[in-house]
Amino acid sequence: MPITEILALCMIGAFFVMLLAGIPVAVCLAVTGFVFGYAGFGPTLFNLVPARIFGVVTNYTLLALPLFIFMGIMLERSKIAEELLEVIGLAMGGLRGGMAMAIIFVGVLMGAASGVVGATVVTVGLIALGPIINRGYDKGVATGVICASGTLGQIIPPSLVLILLADIMGESVGTLFAAALLPGLLLSGLFIAYVLFLGIFSPQKVPAIPADERAVYSGADLAGKLVKVVLPPIFLIVLVLGSIIGGVAAPTEAASMGAFGSVALAYFSGRLTFDVLRDTVRSAFVTSAMVFFILILAQPFGLAFRGLGGERLVQDAFTFVPGGMDGQILFLMLILFVLGFFLEWIEISYIALPLFLPIFAQAGVDMAWIAILVAVNLQTSFLTPPFGWALFFLKGVAPPSIATMDIYRGVVSFIALQLIGLALVFLFPALATWLPGTIGW
């Protein structure tokens, strides 16, 4: 084996050792990239890195990231999500599992409005976890449905994952948004079907809200409240996604409309204050800076790994996988699923994923389909112990009566549902390819 390929393997090993030692991922990327790149190329590497970083920071499409992050955080800080959950919960509370289904609907709406998982999980956890437990819900079901519904923002457009995958795979953002719409709704449907199943066969785990509590609003008042509270966010979502998928506006333009629309919704609901605006801008800046910092420092790592022959090593390893192209895709899914136990989605996207993509691109596989398979797979990384971020987010706001094992137990069923969703997208590629093809992307 050539010395450069040995260096490539050592580079991957050093990265994981540093990561497990608790060193921030951005530092791990930069140090291993520069050290092993210098060992393999000498100072030549440092001449190539600035051009790669310049390409990242001047990528116009990535401007949509901070704007969508701002949009989601504004909807969360202005309490619009809280009102959504209250009204939808009362409207559906007469059903067994109605409150859980309301949480899923709010997860869909918040995911479509922002793509920020942490905001949705924390908001719904703060608002709903205590009341839903007090109403007799099983702790595992309650925590599982909140974590799972919060992760829907990773697949339902405008997902931050899809924006970065579009950059990595060389696909348009509009194509991936269109491709992800049906799989995202499919996952939401699987979650709702599971709650309905529990309502029929284990009603004690998902009891209905008592009638006297639902009597706060009359039928007409509740209908009016639904129109007033639910329609404006839906209109904003349709405006943003419709303009991108329909080709009317670029992702950055649609994201700016979404950011402005979230401010307008907060203003007309009477919740736009200086403190809310300041906190939203600060949180959006910090989150965006984290994403771009990792993105920039991933460049020397990727450059060094490819230069050392790591990409060729991966391609050679894939030739030993049985089952042809289907076997190779399943092997990639398995690798990404296992990495999701230990790494965040952004680390997987910019470290592991680029190593495998050239194989599928050369084989002529539909990259939009691969991107959606990857996105659904990465969604599970938020739920898989021990480092699933949705679990951490919820534990941070959960009452003391909720143990960590309650949360772990609760997410198992939803991880299985996500794997079923992944299998359906794999077996029926038209779920991802039909809509982009129909609208001409």
Q: What is the 3-state secondary structure (H, E, C) of 388-426?
A: CHHHHHHHHHCCCCCCHHHHHHHHHHHHHHHHHHHHHHH
Question: What pLDDT does residue 214 have?
Answer: 63
Q: What's the rounded mean pLDDT across residues 14-27? A: 80
Residue 407 and residue 394 in contact, taking contact as beta carbons nearer than 8 Å = yes
| Segment holding 247, helix H or strand E | none
134/12 Cα distance (integer angstroms): 48
Q: What span, in angstroms and rounded, lies between the C-alpha atoms of 207 and 227?
A: 26
Closest C-alpha among 232, 280, 225, 272 to residue 113 = 232
List, for residues 323-352, the tens digit of each pLDDT value.
788 898 998 898 888 877 767 777 778 777
* Separation in Å, CA 2 to CA 5, 35, 36, 233, 307: 6, 18, 14, 57, 13
In angstroms, rounded to a whole number, what is the distance separating the alpha carbons of residues 382 and 124?
16
- Provide the residue ranges of all domains of the chain, joining segments of one domain with +: 61-295+319-439
Q: Please give the DSSP secondary-structure letter assigned to residue 62.
A: G
pTM to 2 decimal places: 0.82
Report CA torsion sign: 171, 236, 270, 221. negative
Q: Of 70, 72, 90, which is closest to residue 80 (Cα–Cα)?
A: 72
According to the model, what pLDDT value does residue 398 have?
83
Q: pLDDT tens digits, residue range 217-256?
A: 666 677 787 788 888 888 888 888 888 877 788 888 888 9
